[in-house]
Amino acid sequence: MEHTIRVTPATLAAFGFSETSALSPLSGGHINDTFLVEDQGKFVLQRINPFVFPHPEEIMENIAGVTAFLREKILARGGDPDRETLSIRPTLSGEALYWDREGGPWRCMSYVEDTVSYEVAQNNEMLREAGRAFGEFQNLLADYPAHTLFETIRDFHNTPERFRQLREAVAQNKAGRLSQVGAELDFAAQREQDCALLMDLLREGKLPLRVTHNDTKLSNVLFEKATGKALCVIDLDTVMPGLAAFDFGDSIRAGAVTAAEDEADLSKVHFDVDRFAAYTEGFLSAAGTSLAPLELQTLPDGARLMTFEVGIRFLADYLNGDVYFRTAYPEHNLVRARNQFQLVREMEQKRPQMEQLLR
């Protein structure tokens, strides 16, 4: 969808930008509205989607805490915190958020120059780097006081709860699209039984809660243009306590694949074991020693379940009339759901190869 949200002079002024600053939309994310502002440096100005995030002030508290903590760690290892993590640019009155007249919450963050992000991995080295970046992210935050983090979206990776939400969307059939999704609903129903695997192990105390990113798609890593190295993990809105398998799994979903998340031609959409191997190598090189045996064992489940989960979320949103994810055309969410289900199918088939590589 086009950016229907506009940046007004009042919003610019709130963050100390001049009315004549250069503005351009930054696309990619499905939730927030994002703009690049150039005014004595480059900044990312975002309107947080208040439908998705009911408490934006809690997000900003999480981000302030996490980035301050990361800065210290990055400094301690001799890194450059201005490039290796994000910084918040507050409003002129020192607030992390500016609320516009329509009640829209805006925030501003640093823009890390000379970096680039990708929807689809261009080569395996890129995935190794992304894996290293997310593994390091988890490691650096291992001793972060997790109890101080707000749960910015409840049950974010609670797959059975996501399944319940799908059932609710079916029952309500708000957009009148139910008759179009019979095959997809059958696919999902066949997998309802074992979609609670990770949540069950968590509840039974068998998997540890960690501070995780929870939205570890490839496009949430900035790569340094000059070196091709993964430099900075971005999109910290969903940093919350979670499982290692969530972060690993969501990255595999979005990275160990041959096509974009919304590729409609399913003959191009494959789960790629070589890419899986490259990401896994990077991730384990950074986070491996801190993972318990059962955590390692559940990583392939993370891949399968995170892919299934976002598939049923796209499907539910299609039934609800595209109220959550931004869409560019009417079938967009259905195309995304089919794409993700195809990956689930291939992950099921290639499970033995995944296990073998992990060993």
Residues that bind ligand GN1 in the complex, under the rule CB under 6 A:
29-31, 52, 215, 217, 235, 237-238, 261, 310
Residue 310 contacts which entry, Mg ion, ligand GN1, none (Cβ below 5-8 A, type-dependent): ligand GN1
Residue 52 contacts which entry, ligand GN1, Mg ion, none (Cβ below 5-8 A, type-dependent): ligand GN1
Residue 89 contacts which entry, Mg ion, ligand GN1, none (Cβ below 5-8 A, type-dependent): none
Query: Looking at this protein, which amino acid is placed at residue 348?
Result: E
Residues 316 and 208: their CA atoms lie apart, in Å, by 30
Name the 3-class secondary structure at 131.
Answer: helix
| Chain centre to alpha carbon of residue 332 | 18
Minimum CB separation from Mg ion for residue 233, in Å?
Answer: 12
Task: Compute CA distances 30 → 200, 201, 328, whole Å.
Answer: 29, 30, 10
Residue pair 316/163 in contact by the 8 Å Cβ criterion: no
Residues 265 and 282: their CA atoms lie apart, in Å, by 30
Of 155-163, 235-243, 251-259, 282-290, the segment contacting Mg ion by CB under 5 A is 235-243
Of 233-241, 272-280, 281-289, 317-325, the segment contacting Mg ion by CB under 5 A is 233-241
Minimum CB separation from ligand GN1 for residue 215, in Å?
Answer: 5
Residue 301 contacts which entry, Mg ion, ligand GN1, none (Cβ below 5-8 A, type-dependent): none
CB-nearest residue to Mg ion: 235
Q: Which of 235/247 has CB closer to Mg ion?
A: 235
Of 38-46, 124-132, 168-176, 232-240, the segment contacting Mg ion by CB under 5 A is 232-240
Binding track, positions 156-195, relative to Mg ion; x by CB under 5 A: ----------------------------------------
State yes or no: residue 235 binds Mg ion (CB under 5 A): yes
Residue pair 63/46 in contact by the 8 Å Cβ criterion: no
**Nearest CA among 146, 66, 157, 148 for reference residue 109:** 66
Minimum CB separation from Mg ion for residue 30, in Å?
Answer: 7
Residue pair 236/67 in contact by the 8 Å Cβ criterion: yes
Residue pair 347/248 in contact by the 8 Å Cβ criterion: no
2 φ, ψ (degrees, to nearest 5): -60, 155
Residue 33 contacts which entry, ligand GN1, Mg ion, none (Cβ below 5-8 A, type-dependent): none
Q: Which of 137/187 has CB closer to Mg ion?
A: 137
Minimum CB separation from ligand GN1 for residue 276, in Å?
Answer: 18
State yes or no: residue 261 binds Mg ion (CB under 5 A): no
Strands 42-47 and 33-38: antiparallel
Strands 210-212 and 115-116: unpaired
State yes or no: residue 136 binds Mg ion (CB under 5 A): no
Minimum CB separation from ligand GN1 for residue 212, in Å?
Answer: 12
Of 52-60, 231-239, 269-277, 292-300, the segment contacting Mg ion by CB under 5 A is 231-239
Q: Which two tokens stand for residue 37?
A: 């502002």
Half-sphere exposure of 17 (CA within 13 A, CB side): 27
Residue pair 334/181 in contact by the 8 Å Cβ criterion: yes
Residue 261 contacts which entry, Mg ion, ligand GN1, none (Cβ below 5-8 A, type-dependent): ligand GN1
Minimum CB separation from ligand GN1 for residue 216, in Å?
Answer: 9
Q: Which of 69/324 has CB closer to ligand GN1?
A: 324
Residues 142 and 221: their CA atoms lie apart, in Å, by 19
Task: Compute CA distances 54 → 59, 111, 275, 300, 359, whole Å.
Answer: 10, 25, 36, 32, 42
Q: Which of 30/73 has CB closer to ligand GN1?
A: 30
| Chain centre to alpha carbon of residue 17 | 29
- Residues binding Mg ion (CB under 5 A): 215, 235
